[in-house]
Amino acid sequence: MAVSTPDAPAAGDAGVPPPGQHSGGQHDGRNRDDGGNRGGGRRGGGDHGGGRRWRRHGHRGHGGAGGPVGGRSPLSSFVGHAVLAVLSVACIFPICWMYATSLRRPGDIYDTSLLPWPLSIGNYRHAADVIPIGQMLLNTFVVASLTAIGQLLTGLLAAYAFTAWRFRGQRLLYLLFVGTWLVPFQVTMVSNYTLLFEFGLLNTLAEVIIPTLCTALGVLLLRQHMESFPKEVLEAARVDGRSSWSTLWTVVVPNLRPALAALGIVLFINAWNEYFWPSMALQQANSMIQLGLRGFLGGTEGNDWGGIMAASGLACLPIFGLYLVLQRHIVNAFVHSGLK
């Protein structure tokens, strides 16, 4: 069946000029229209070409043409940097004074000059003669390392359990676990001491380590990082046939390295600076460096400030070295959370 189509208008009909005989006005009009459209696309602020350039230049000019960057005026920026500089000096000055005093001669201990001259290492020799500082530093390093590793391990396992698994009473159990952070150590001190006495661990380094192996701080921080993990990653690991243990060590831990490094150095410093529990648990004053510093206090001639400053300076060196090695991971832990 034939389909009828409307006849095309013949050349010469009204309103339709013959081919090749377009009127100059219409041709020029179309050229003007086309040129106007093309020009509008370039200059009229359209979505192509010049519009994007105008927006980009306008965006830069809004923040760079003498205006404040990020909404902060130069005065507020100067005040903020000045406050940070004052706080930095307040934190660094006691450390500089400690090392400066340790390098003075015994007769110049009370000198008020910031830079010691002439330099002397007599205080360090004196500190090594009074206490076995090398053995103390080794014992303290072992205790702090094992404590930090134990707290990282228990915190990692607990945080993974609270994140990857769902069970009845999970929220209540998590709140109770974190709530132990609010309980002072002095409350459980006597019960811990009695329990370790029953186990025969008194006056040993294990007595200092075991009661501090679990910490709510590690669980709280690591769980916050794990919560930012895409759940699809853990589900894909399960579909791939990985067990929960394998998923933890092959998927979760590699992405937690910055957080683990930052938390590890915090836990190490806390264990390194601990004084109260070691002083109660250990009867030997020469077991750890925190207890050894007491040997320079209350002598027949008063406090031995030269020996105290020298021993304290040596006690701070491992902390400074650990921070220099792990500072990149510490910064990344606060910049990134979860998968990159």
3-state secondary structure of 152: helix
Q: Does the pLDDT value for residue 57 go beyond 70? A: no
Residues 6+ apart with CB under 8 A from 148: 264, 267, 268, 271
Among 145-149, 206-210, 232-236, which range has the highest average pLDDT? 145-149
Q: How far apart are the first and last CA of the chain?
A: 66
- Tokens representing 55? 């927006």
Model pLDDT, residue 151: 93
- 97-148 pLDDT, tens digit per residue, is 999 999 988 878 887 777 888 888 888 988 888 888 888 999 999 999 999 9
Strand partners, 290: none
| Of 8-17, 55-64, 260-269, highest mean pLDDT | 260-269
Is the separation of the CB atoms in 36 and 29 below 8 Å? no
pLDDT reported for residue 9 = 47
305-319: b or e for each residue (b if 16 or more CB lie within 10 Å)?
A: bbbbbbbbbbbeebe
Cα gap 130→14, rounded to integer Å:
119
**Share of residues in the chain with pLDDT > 90 (%):** 16
The answer to whether the CB of 222 falls within 8 A of the CB of 263 is yes
State how far the Cα of 222 lies from the Cα of 263, in Å rounded to an integer.
9
Condensed to tens digits (0 to 9), the pLDDT of residues 154-165 reads 999 999 988 888
Q: How many CB atoms are located within 10 Å of the residue 259 CB?
A: 23
Range among 68-77, 145-154, 204-213, 331-340 with highest mean pLDDT value: 145-154
Q: Is 11 left (phi over 0), alpha (psi -120 to 50) or beta?
A: beta
Place of tokens 């002095």: 186
Instruction: Report the range of poorest mean pLDDT among 80-94, 259-273, 305-319, 322-336.
Output: 322-336
| Measured distance CA(144)–CA(81) in Å, rounded | 35
List the structure tokens of 147: 């404590």
Is 266 buried (19+), middle (13-18) or exposed (0-12) by CB count in 10 A? Answer: middle
> What is each CA distance from 168 to 50, 222, 310, 317, in whole angstroms?
60, 21, 55, 48
CB-based contact 287:313 (threshold 8 Å): no
Q: Is the pLDDT of residue 150 over 90?
A: yes
Range name among 108-117, 144-153, 311-320 with the lowest pLDDT average: 108-117
pLDDT at 121: 87
Q: List the chain domain ranges.
A: 88-120, 132-335
Give the fold, CATH level 3, of 132-335: MetI-like fold (1.10.3720)
Number of CB atoms found within 10 A of residue 255's CB: 18
Give one DSSP letter per residue of 239-271, joined into a string.
HTT--HHHHIIIIIHHHTHHHHHHHHHHHHHHH
